[in-house]
Amino acid sequence: MKNIQIIDGAENATFSVFQASEEEFLEIFPEPGQDMEVIEDFSDRVTDEKAASVLHAMWNRPILKRDVAGIHGTLFFDYAGRRQYLPDTKREIDWAASCINEAQRLLFGSRK
């Protein structure tokens, strides 16, 4: 199972984590190394019905943050107007140098 953190505009700011099967994860994050996705892009790519099916299964597998052994992906809701801030590749390691600190630049550079 892969852990996906949900980042949304909810006032409760829970930013919950859910588990996805390998197949579900690849539906949401199809590109090599991709670990970020905007829900509208996912829905547009696979159809609303397919996205709803994948998410329905995932919503039934919440996991406590303290039990998470790594976050494998981030799914953004209410983010369509801010997608220009994400790297084009939707990979965490591809953030612009101006968006991250020196330690992150070194880490991400070593993982490309």
pLDDT range class, residue 100, cuts 50, 70, 90 = very high
pLDDT at 11: 85
pLDDT at 13: 86
Average pLDDT over residues 42-54: 96
Cβ proximity of 21 and 60 under 8 Å = no
pLDDT above 90 (res 112) = no
pLDDT tens per residue, range 9-42: 888 889 999 999 999 999 999 999 999 999 999 9
Domain that holds residue 30: 2-110
pLDDT at 71: 98
Instruction: Give residue 43's Cα distance to chain centre.
Output: 14
User: Based on the structure, what is the number of domains in the chain?
Assistant: 1
